[in-house]
Structure 1
């Protein structure tokens, strides 16, 4: 990361870095291969012994998987690009505007807080986003990973990338990170608003499936809190929706390899439900604030095929929050809460002199 030239006399700003997983630059085998090579080389993501995994990754996976994945990406690609990129950029845009309005209301410059997007894998990189914030004179940076539930393979590796990018920087900014917002009341209410809005238009299902991204089961035994955080999000959402135990179920999607992952599995659950008399299902993904390949292809397309082929009669995927106003408001409040001490306007010179005089007077009378 290149160092920005330090200049005196310019007011500093606060930076917010929204970090998401990432996406290929295009739905092509070559672009997907580059993306997967970076993603699957992360030791936080794949914890197989490095030498063995390198042989598997370069000898098998990167030879066969890119073409298959490219077809899946092509099925959900938009005229503006990858859905994950489109929604994350839009969230940053709306967050920027929301914070500007809040700043103006407190008599502060509306551009005091700058917002940039960095992808853990692919473009725009975290390093490039940090460079933009530094160029905008941000001497305080809040890292906001767009993962409601902390996991080492998502939030922690995003932090790793930020720290690594700043290692070469001579003028280090102050840095704060948000580890998790899985139980934020405003987030739960936003999810419930999305679900209730969908039900108002489409009616209620026999069962609501809450599908979260899966991780290997051994991560739980090693101390990763992700499994517990997902369960808490699901319980809080079910309570907010007023659901009884039989009206909803938590599952985990996106298995990879032969190891056991967190259960119950989403695909196996969808396969089994029709035989249990559950004919109408809705699926929501509370771990994905932005729609992406895993929601739009794996859940909305593959999940539907699995359920209907098994005898189900009706299947719907409830879209992610994306640019829902309740999500933007929640992100605004979340950012402000984590910028305590950074948010207030600094006192002017006259006020500083007055504070010093009051402190000396108190010291003289003590």
Structure 2
């Protein structure tokens, strides 16, 4: 047989699936364990993100790799141990995010061609892996849902960055939509209010002050145009009005600052301390910016802030849980997903 008699076919390809829509819920992230190695791996990914730490690399990396990643993993690991989900051997953030994904799939069963997945910006399951899975399953359109009610560059934007970074490596890209801020959504505000009212109804005392504590960002980020501060205050105002409270018994504060820079104020820890010193005996703290309880709510607020309040003269302290996978919390997430899928379904 001569060369001209043969026909060379390319390797056979498996059937290409298409026509489905993916929804990817993305939360901040979690270490795989509380040990030094797991914590260091997680913190390295988190703290090398240019959206999180905007310092120049030559200034930040010697501090990060010389000091922070050698000392902080043990400290943060011990903090995680105090709030670790021992039954599943994982952080509660992973537990709740998984549950939110499963419950969302159940709620959207009427949409036959929609598939729900969940991922973490830092740690596992990774965003890129989940996008690849969704596409392989036939999703040629994917809705990305960063689980942050208030947009910030260090949270929402870095999720979107990671998504589009994955697209850079894909020959056949799915169409992508990203969920916008929902800080003033009526269902969200109502869910928060119902959660607060229900929790306070279980107490035999009334808080003199209700604090809405949001995660902070450096003041420099705000000055460069980040809208996060404004979104937090609007959420706070709408929640205060919905609860029928006044500025005398409701306030917005910011927590979790890191490093030497000035961050958004007032600081939650300093506020809690001062309230106790000023004679306020009973306070409640809620975290409207977190869709799931995590280290910053369970350890930093329910643990450290409570201890500080008692230490400085306070008598009654309660942390109101996040919406997590509650019915009200899922109502919010479902409403946002259905709204953002319009035109695709």
Question: TM-score normalized by structure 2?
Answer: 0.94
Q: CA deviation at 1:142?
A: 0.4
Task: Name the structure 2 match of 1:37.
Answer: 44
The answer to whether structure 1 residue 98 and structure 2 residue 107 are counterparts is yes
More helix by percentage: 1
1:87 aligned partner: 96
| 8 A contact 1:27–1:71 mirrored in 2 | yes
Would you say the 8 A contact 1:22–1:120 is kept in 2?
yes
Alignment of 1:124-135 (within 5 A): 124-135=125-136
- Map 1:163-178 onto structure 2 (within 5 A): 163-178=164-179
Distance in 2 (alpha carbons) for counterparts of 1:297 and 1:336: 34
What's 1:313 paired with? 315
Report Cα offsets for 1:249-289 as digits up to 9, x if no partner. 11000011111000000000011002222110110000001
Partner of 1:236, secondary structure, is helix
Query: Structure 1 CA distance, aligned partners of 2:48 and 2:58?
Result: 11
Contact 2:25 2:101 in 1 (8 A): yes
Aligned to 1:119: 120
| Aligned pairs (5 A) from 1:1-366 | 7=15, 12-78=19-85, 79-80=87-88, 81-100=90-109, 102-103=110-111, 109=112, 112-202=113-203, 203-343=205-345
Q: After TM superposition, give the deviation of residue 146 of structure 1 in Å.
A: 0.4
Name the TM-score, length of structure 1 as normaliser. Answer: 0.88
Q: Secondary structure at the match of 1:320?
A: coil
Give the 3-state SS of the residue equivalent to 2:296 in structure 1.
Answer: helix
In structure 2, what is the Cα distance between the partners aligned to 1:157 and 1:142?
A: 16
Residues 1:310 and 1:210: Cα distance change in structure 2 (over 3 Å): same
State how far apart, in whole Å, the 1-side matches of 2:119 and 2:263 are. 28
Query: Unaligned regions of 5+ residues in structure 1, if any?
Result: 104-108, 344-366
Which of structure 1's runs of 4+ aligned residues deviate more than 4 A? none
2:287 & 2:338 partners in 1: Cα distance?
A: 26
Q: Write the distance in 2 (CA, Å) between the matches of 1:248 and 1:121.
A: 33
Give the Å deviation of 1:245: 1.2
TM-superposed CA distance for 1:339, in Å, is 0.9
Question: How far has the Cα of 1:314 moved from its partner?
Answer: 0.7
CA contact 1:29–1:69 (8 Å) conserved in 2: no
Task: Tell me if the contact between 1:76 and 1:297 (Cα under 8 Å) persists in the aligned partners.
Answer: yes
Question: Separation in 1 of the partners of 2:340 and 2:148?
Answer: 16
How far is 1:11 from its partner? 5.4
Report Cα offsets for 1:315-347 as digits up to 9, x if no partner.
Answer: 11000000111121221121111111111xxxx
**3-state SS of the aligned residue for 1:245?**
coil
The 2-side partners of 1:168 and 1:244 are apart by 52
- Say whether the 8 Å CA contact 1:44–1:152 is kept in structure 2: yes
Structure 1 residues 337 and 60, CA gap change in structure 2 (3 angstroms): same
Tell me how many residue pairs correspond in the alignment. Answer: 330
Where 2:201 maps in the other structure, the secondary structure is helix
Structure 2 runs not aligned, ≥5 long: 1-12
The separation in 2 between residues aligned to 1:26 and 1:160, in whole angstroms, is 26
Output the aligned Cα RMSD: 1.1
**Counterparts of 1:274 and 1:62, CA distance in 2:** 35
